[in-house]
Amino acid sequence: MAREHVLVVEDEEDIQELIRYNLAKEGYQVAVAASSEAAFRRVKTAPPAVILLDLMLPGMDGLEFCKMLKAEASTRGIPIIMVTAKGEEADVVAGLELGADDYVTKPFSPRILLARLRAVLRREAAEVFDEEAPICIHDLTIHPGRHEVKLKEKAVPLSLTEFRLLQVLARRPGWVMTRQQIVDAMRGPDYPVTERSVDVQVVGLRKKLGAAGDYIETVRGVGYRFKE
């Protein structure tokens, strides 16, 4: 059974109880706060393993709370999953670029929420990695040191930018990345990438990967992720 401490920041009591019940049933230790201010006091006294954060909160909204947490050294490492209403794509993008790790939209399936929670906790545990170590995922093998990609042992010729884009996404499977986050991860003297050109690079990369190009999923209105 899981024993991680999860802080649920949600002002609607029925949603609070839905989340608390389903997480507790899976063995998580659950604390609840109805406002950003109350949540911040809890974070300071008992830092959680992850925060489920509603964006529409009384007083300080979820985006401001996320920004405040990521601005402090003692709290910036706590993973955040945003809980949003449908149609709040701009808020999702803003939250991801502030440092949130993932999101779910209301109404949500408890099973989906639990899957997202487990995925974030797994990524957090595996976040330290060797930059030169090969990435083996699905039927792809990516060799950073050799600048080589193989699909079922067959070499796939990629440009430098395409290779870097694939590497950035494949290192964090399941992790939604905005175009700006991809640009930031790739930026450097050899990677003249802009938000607009990310879409063009993804199209070219998918074409070269053939059927494996489906591993790169479009998250409408937000960005991209590599299929977990």
pLDDT single digits (tens) 110-127: 998 998 898 888 776 655
- pLDDT at residue number 189: 47
Binning pLDDT at 50, 70 and 90, where does residue 192 land?
A: low
Helix H or strand E segment including 4: none
- pLDDT at residue number 30: 93
- Asked whether residue 187 carries a pLDDT value surpassing 70, the answer given is no
Under 8 Å CB-to-CB from 36, ≥6 apart: which residues?
9, 57, 59, 60, 61, 62, 64, 65, 68
pLDDT above 70 covers a percentage of the chain that reads 91
**pLDDT, average across residues 33-57:** 92
Binning pLDDT at 50, 70 and 90, where does residue 195 land?
A: confident
pLDDT single digits (tens) 83-100: 988 667 788 888 898 889
Q: Which residues pair with 218 in a beta bridge?
A: 224
**pLDDT, average across residues 190-216:** 85
Query: Which pairs from 219-222 meet CB under 8 Å and 24+ separation?
Result: 219/176, 220/89, 221/89, 221/92, 221/93, 222/89, 222/92, 222/93, 222/96, 222/176, 222/178
Domains in the chain (CATH in brackets) are 5-125 (3.40.50.2300), 135-226 (1.10.10.10)
pLDDT single digits (tens) 52-80: 999 999 999 999 999 999 988 888 889 99
- pLDDT at residue number 130: 57
pLDDT single digits (tens) 167-177: 989 988 888 88
- Nearest CA among 138, 139, 193 for reference residue 163: 193
pTM: 0.70
